[in-house]
Amino acid sequence: MEFLNRYIMTIMQSLALLILSLVLTDFYQTNVPMFFLVFAVITVGNFIIESLYNKNNYQQQTKAKKMGMTMIPINTLVLLVFVMVLF
């Protein structure tokens, strides 16, 4: 349970990407390696950022605000590059 509390943002974003993967890969028929690469990059990046914030022992709300300001632009750029390469 401690792992879920410490890495809730990474888990939630990974879950959202898994749900989104069905649409972006036509039910796993096209673009699967490219989507797996994007999934891995975003998940590892989020995990690293969240582990850095966990070292400072922020409260859950403060950590979520700070991570949102960090992760949203980074993940938007990664997805933008993914869409540009894919289409």
Tokens, residue 33: 């390696």
Q: At what angle do helices 60-86 and 32-55 cross, to 10 degrees?
A: 160
What mean pLDDT is predicted for residues 28-36? 86
Confidence label for 7 from pLDDT (cuts 50, 70 and 90): very high
- Per residue in 40-64, pLDDT (tens digit) is 999 999 999 999 999 988 888 898 8
What mean pLDDT is predicted for residues 77-87? 84
From residue 22, alpha-carbon distances to 30, 53, 82 in Å are 10, 31, 16
Dist. CA 73–CA 75, nearest whole Å = 6
pLDDT value of position 32? 87
Instruction: State the residue range of the domain holding 60.
Output: 2-86
- What is the distance of C-alpha 71 from the center of its chain? 8
Number of domains in the chain: 1
Place of tokens 């898994």: 18
pLDDT value of position 19? 92
**How much of the chain, in percent, has pLDDT values that exceed 70?**
99
